[in-house]
Amino acid sequence: MADSVSSMRAIPRLVVELDGIAGSPGLSIGQALVVEVRRPGVVKRRLAKHQAADEVERYQQAIARASRELQEVAARATGGHIETSVLQVYVLMVQDQTLRENVERRILLDLVCAEWALDLAVDEIAAHLTQAPDPYLSERSHDVRFVGDRILAVLSGQHSIVQLPDTGEPVVIVAHDLSPAETAALSRDRVLAIVTEVGTRTSHTAIVARALEIPAVVGAVGAVSRIGNGDTVIVDGLRGRVIVSPSEDMLDTSKRRAERYRALTSELRALHDRPATTRCGIHIHLRANIELPTEVDGALAHGAEGIGLYRTEFLYIDRPEPPTEEEQYEVYRRVVETVAPLPVTLRTFDIGGDKLAPSVHGPPGLNPALGVRAIRLGLAIPELLLTQLRAMVRASAHGRVQILIPMVSTVGEFRAVQKLVYQAMDEIDARSQPRAAFIPCGCMIEVPSAAMMADELAREAAFLSIGTNDLVQYTLAVDRGRRELVDLASPFDPAVLRLIRRTARAGERQNRRVLACGAMASDPLGVLLLLGMGLRELSMEGAAIPELKEAISRVTMHELEQLADAALASSTAEEVERMVTEGYAPCFADLLDGAPAFEPDPNRGHSVNR
């Protein structure tokens, strides 16, 4: 790979950086292959009557071939993985009688060619499904179209699902979107990494990429138009970033980071039991954020002391009806049992805002981040929240469960939720179902008003959890999605730091644990400030834990407290950033190789030596 990379440098090109979502961990450097998954063009050809029988024959051969290809893909996908069942459905659909009869009837009666007949049949079936009252079923119209496209591709002679060039050189796949089947068709020895323009951590591409252990960045807007075939790209699946035509420095640092990550993952088992302890011997609890139950094993393998934030939204997304108590209970129970005796913090749904689930819809409003979301939605529809709370209470019988309430902005809200938690417990007791005697109920501090009232909230809550991403957004009044405002949204801003400090102090005074989660808690430099301000418990992406253990082992609490005091006394985010990076970048140089989460802007006039 190194040779081809250096040959690419002959043509100087502008460095392009794309931010996306860390879909699958790992870091790869390689040449891009832009896959245009366009629908094959439909040939419209009329047939003479005597040609119809041959055309039906041609269509049947295409079905056989398309179904064989999909079966091969299904066989290659990791055995027993949930995604294979999606592929099985596709195989059945390709062979489907209803579809076949529909197409054959058109060929024989309307005398149109197979491609045209198929296109009409797919349109008809898809339109029918789209009208289904059930949004889940109407979603299936995409599957029908996918299957139709597969057969069309065979008819038009484009056999393989994603055409990889036969250079034998592994490549970085860049696409607008990949279907589960397409992702599963990619193999680790031919694909270095995946970049897609759409998708989230829970989309099929990310899930399949994680299962195949291929680094992936999803949701990288503009990737297809800004990356050309053969461009050298760095895909950082740890931080959700893609660098196109990187400079030599960037290549060098990324190669070191990639090697470090590989070394770390191979040493994982050995590092796994190492505690996170400062040089002066203070233990820091590092827990993992998860979104899907399948992430638990990875988190524990990375050495997480339990789950500090289990985002339960995925249960509510992409479905017609909210999940039942029973369904949620089964999911939570499995996670809680796997993690026991370590704790699991279950956060009640944070839907509304940027994660609208069709199952609990309402008018989105102009500014969803300030609208009816998270606990506001839960209090507006108490039965929705109670169903979830009952499932959580029941899961507490199987391990250590804590419940966390998101987006609390007033003490009154927290009291109202607490009442519902007690009601859920009473209902479980009335059914004589088992539960833990004590279930700590914590309050998220992510709205400035909650941070201002941290003492009062700490008196009522069993623990506090600072959500740094939302706290930054709400404190600085910056929409997280706005590119042009990204510089304003710094967790190093003294206003944010003072709110965090205030919350940490409230925890100390009221004798409550305070935890921090969010991007700041997984960045080594952000963590220094959090520890210096008194936090002893952090929750982050599981993959970031080994790196942070190493960073924490190199510092003493005394120096971090001094650093935090100086940062809190600063006037601007830039001052804080400079102070932290100048003080610690040299000693963390090996950990910060590549792109840290908050990279100081080189145009700002201060140079940082990493």
- Rounded to whole angstroms, what are the CA distances from 435 to 157, 403, 441? 60, 13, 14
272 is catalytic: no
477: left (phi over 0), alpha (psi -120 to 50) or beta: left
Buried/exposed code over 162-181 (b: 16+ C-beta within 10 A; e: otherwise): bebeeeeebbbbbbbbbbbb
Strand order in the sheet with 171-175: 16-19, 241-244, 232-236, 27-35, 171-175, 191-196, 216-218, 21-24
Taking the C-alpha atoms of residue 513 and residue 531, their distance in angstroms, rounded to an integer, is 13
Nearest distance from C-beta of residue 88 to another protein, angstroms:
6
- Nearest residue (CB) to another protein, 317 versus 579: 317
Q: Closest distance between another protein and the C-beta of residue 148, in Å?
A: 11
Binding site for another protein (CB under 8 A): 85-86, 88-89, 92-93, 96-99, 125, 128-129, 132-134, 136-137, 140, 143-144, 321, 324, 326-327, 330
Residue 428 CB, shortest distance to another protein, in Å, is 18
Shortest CB 584 distance to another protein, Å: 51
Active site residue 517: yes
CB atoms near residue 561 (< 10 Å)? 14
State in angstroms the smallest separation of the CB of 321 from another protein. Answer: 7
In the complex, what is the shortest distance from the CB of residue 296 to another protein, in angstroms, rounded to a whole number? 20
89 vs 569 by CB, closer to another protein: 89
Distance, first Cα to last Cα, the chain = 25
Closer to another protein by Cβ: residue 129 or 520: 129
Backbone angles phi, psi at 357, to 5 degrees: -100, 135
Query: How far apart are the C-alpha atoms of 304 and 543, rounded to whole Å?
Result: 9
Residues 6+ away with beta carbon under 8 Å from 72: none
Q: Of 113, 204, 285, 441, which residue is the catalytic one?
A: 204
Residue 572 token pair: 């601007």
Cβ distance to another protein smaller for residue 86 or 288 = 86
Residue nearer to another protein on the CB measure, 144 or 443? 144
Nearest 5°: the CA angle 185, 187, 36 is 55
Residue holding tokens 């011997």?
281
Catalytic residue among 113, 441, 443, 517: 517
Nearer to another protein, 43 or 92 (CB): 92
Question: Which residues, listed in sequence order, are joined to residue 243 by a DSSP beta bridge?
Answer: 17, 234
Active-site residue set: 204, 517
